[in-house]
Amino acid sequence: MIIKPMIRSNICINAHPVGCARETERQIAYVKAQKVKRGTKSAKEGGKGPKTVVVLGCSTGYGLASRISAAFEYGADTIGVSFEKEPTEKKGGTPGWYNNAAFDRAAKEAGLKSVTLNADAFSDETRDLVISELKKFDSKVDLIVYSLASPVRTDPKTKVLYRSVIKPEGQPYSGKTMDMMTGKLMESTAEPAAAEEVENTVKVMGGEDWVLWIDALLKAGILAEGCRTVAYSYIGPELSHAIYRNGTIGAAKKDLESTALRLNDRLTAAVGGAAYISENKGLVTRSSAVIPIISLYLSILFKVMKEKGTHEGCIEQMERLFAERLFTGPEGAAGEVPVDIEHRIRIDDREMDPAVQSEVTERMASVTDDNFAELGDLAGYKHDFLAINGFDVEGVDYTKELERMDSIN
């Protein structure tokens, strides 16, 4: 089988097993190089960084990058949870399944304990399973990363299924969007969400499930003294607020942020720990490509930041979050965390730099089909979009026949 990307309406619906594995290995190599550059000591080398880490939503994006940073810079044993479509010999699985397989293989080669559960992270049964696995570890949990990004969630108590939507609130939103395969610009409109849709999106992507996880882990008595938890959010530029920050997703993120304050108090009292929101940089995801204005904004942002030498992908962001925000003490210990006035970690600082935003805003106002190649980074955006699914990855021969779809070799 020769696997080529299948793209429908700016969404890639298949994945390349070998490409996904190589992209995961590229991220691991970056973290290993940063470990040497920073002089970070792993747990086995006497370092005081995290030793046992739980990553909820571990298979792609920021969750995968967080797990890689914890394991391959700090030497942490990890438990990861994600819900993936498993491949068969002839049918492909989701990118996350292949990413997880590549991570587990590399962790085993490095002598690190790695437990990956293909399960619904929103269910109580999965919480019980994670706790059961954690009790087999040699140490208690130092860090819980909450990086779930699912379109649906079933309430574990009522068994009601909720669906999230990406819509503005109050009135329709129109903006330019970009066909990533051609670079052609077009207008896209999103209709406003009904009140029930806002509530459902908060139910799926807000802080309720995060609380259930922390409560369950606390009750099980497996959190280490000083244990921290972090969840991920996004603020972005003013021009995107109507569809994002002030829309349905923004409502869920604001709920997540308020949840962090409550969890911070709870963890401080229980184990001397803390809870944080990390506001991250805007990056290409499997969903961002279909949100009005976001794909165009990101393409122009990438061009500007690359020109300034400040561009970062998921792995660069998460490695910096760990090394320069969460674990800043001696020998990688959990030092003081710099936060803004709302107790948020701002690892989006390079994106939101006034000079960057000023240049992006100017380009957004003047971009057309004729000058987009000059003002934006179509090639970079397209690469990131394809690489998420294992395509356009350096070192992979895409003309080579694959014998099986359930192997990453």
Please name which of 242, 218, 222, 346 lies closest in space to residue 294, comparing C-alpha atoms: 242
Which of 244, 276, 297, 381 is the catalytic position?
244
Q: Find the angle CA(344)-CA(346)-CA(351) to the nearest 5 degrees.
A: 145
Question: Measured in Å, how far apart are the chain's first and last C-alpha atoms?
Answer: 14
Please name which of 106, 42, 110 lies closest in space to residue 73, comparing C-alpha atoms: 42
Q: Is 62 a catalytic residue?
A: no
Burial class for 149, CB neighbours closer than 10 Å (0-12, 13-18, 19+) = middle
Residues 149 and 252 sit within 8 Å (Cβ to Cβ): no
The Cα–Cα gap between 255 and 257 comes to 5
The Cα–Cα gap between 53 and 277 comes to 17
3-state secondary structure of 273: coil
Beta bridge partner(s), residue 204: none
130-142 CB burial, b ≥16 within 10 A, e <16:
bbeebeebeebbb
Phi-psi region of 226 (alpha: psi -120 to 50; beta: other; left: phi over 0): left
The Cα–Cα gap between 353 and 357 comes to 6
In angstroms, what CA-CA distances link 316 with 74, 162, 271? 15, 33, 30
In angstroms, what CA-CA distances link 86 with 117, 119, 132, 393? 12, 11, 23, 22
Residues 53 and 141 sit within 8 Å (Cβ to Cβ): yes
**H helices of 226-377, where?**
248-271, 294-308, 314-321, 354-366, 372-375
Catalytic positions, written as ranges: 244
